[in-house]
Amino acid sequence: MVSTPTTVEDYLDSLPEDRRHALQAIRDVIRSHIDPDFEEGIQYGMPAWYLPHSKYPAGYHCDPKQPLPFASIASQKNHIGLYLFCIYMDAEEQARFRDEWLATGKRLDMGKSCVRVKKLEDVPLDVLGRAFERMTAKRFVELYEAGRRQAAQGRSAEAGAAMEMAAEGAVGESTPVAPIAAEPIRSAPVVTREPPIETLPVEEYPASPAELAPSAAEPVTEPATPEVVATATTPRRATATGPVAAKPTAQKKVAQKKATTKKATQKKATQKKVAKKAASKPAGSKAAKKKATKKKVAKKAASKPAGSKAAKRKATKKKVAKKAASKPAGSKAAKKKATKKKVAKKAANRSAGRKAAKKQVARKKATKKKVAKKAARRKSGARPTGGRRVAKARGRKR
pLDDT in tens, 60-92: 999 999 999 999 999 999 999 999 988 888 889
Q: What is the pTM of this model?
A: 0.42
Residue 28: pLDDT band with limits 50, 70, 90: very high
Backbone dihedral angles phi then psi of residue 54, each to the nearest 5 degrees: -65, -30
- Alpha-carbon dihedral sign for residues 308, 314, 317, 318: negative
In the chain, the largest separation of any two C-alpha atoms, in whole Å, equals 193
pLDDT at 100: 94
Q: Which of 1, 5, 3 is nearest to 23 (CA)?
A: 5
Neighbours of 163 (CB within 10 A): 22
pLDDT in tens, 317-375: 888 888 777 766 567 777 888 888 889 888 888 888 888 888 889 988 899 889 998 88
pLDDT at 396: 60
Residue with the bigger pLDDT between 305 and 177: it is 305
Residue with the bigger pLDDT between 301 and 51: it is 51
Q: How far apart are CA 205 and CA 203, in angstroms?
A: 6
> Span 129-150, mean pLDDT?
91
Q: Quick one: how many helices (H) and strands (E) in the chain?
A: 12, 6
Residues 6 or more apart whose Cβ sits within 8 Å of residue 230: 170, 171, 172, 197, 199, 200, 236
User: DSSP letters along 334-373, please?
Assistant: HHHHHHHHHHHHHHHHHHHHHHHHHHHHHHHHHHHHHHHH
pLDDT in tens, 177-210: 344 444 444 444 444 444 444 433 434 434 443 4
pLDDT in tens, 220-266: 444 444 443 334 344 444 444 444 444 457 788 888 888 899 889 99
pLDDT at 373: 87
User: DSSP letters along 303-315, please?
Assistant: HSPTTHHHHHHHH
Residue 283: pLDDT band with limits 50, 70, 90: low
Q: How far apart are CA 393 and CA 25, in angstroms?
A: 116
pLDDT at 233: 41
Residue 229 near residue 197, CB atoms below 8 Å? no
Q: How far apart are CA 81 and CA 116, in angstroms?
A: 5
Q: Which residues of 220-251 are buried (b: 16+ CB within 10 A; e: fewer)?
A: eeeeeeeeeebeeeeebbbbbbbeeeeeeeee
pLDDT in tens, 370-389: 999 888 888 887 655 555 66
What residue type is assigned to position 371 of the chain? V
pLDDT at 129: 93
pLDDT at 31: 94
**Distance set, CA 177 to CA 53, 180, 195, 242, 327 (Å):** 57, 9, 22, 15, 114
Starting at the edge strand that comes first in sequence, how are the strands of the sheet with 115-117 ordered?
39-43, 46-51, 68-75, 80-83, 115-117, 109-110
Residue 232 three-state SS? coil
**Distance set, CA 197 to CA 172, 179, 205, 223, 228 (Å):** 10, 19, 9, 12, 10
pLDDT in tens, 92-105: 999 999 999 999 99
Rg of the chain over CA atoms, in angstroms?
A: 55
Segment holding 164, helix H or strand E: helix 137-170
> Span 23-42, mean pLDDT?
94
- Alpha-carbon dihedral sign for residues 53, 10, 75, 125: positive
pLDDT at 71: 94
Q: Where are the beta strands (DSSP E) in the chain?
A: 39-43, 46-51, 68-75, 80-83, 109-110, 115-117
Residue 120 near residue 111, CB atoms below 8 Å? no
Residue 69 three-state SS? strand
pLDDT at 251: 81
Residue 11 sits at the vertex; the CA angle it makes with 67 and 87, to the nearest 5 degrees, is 45
**Whether the predicted pLDDT of 276 surpasses 90:** no
Q: Which residues of 323-346 are buried (b: 16+ CB within 10 A; e: fewer)?
A: eeeeeeeeeeeeeeeeeeeeeeee
pLDDT at 258: 87
> Span 10-22, mean pLDDT?
93
Backbone dihedral angles phi then psi of residue 397, each to the nearest 5 degrees: -65, -35
Residue 17 three-state SS? helix
Residue with the bigger pLDDT between 129 and 230: it is 129
Distance of CA 287 to the CA centre of its chain: 48
Between helices 91-103 and 125-134, what is the axis angle to 10°? Answer: 160
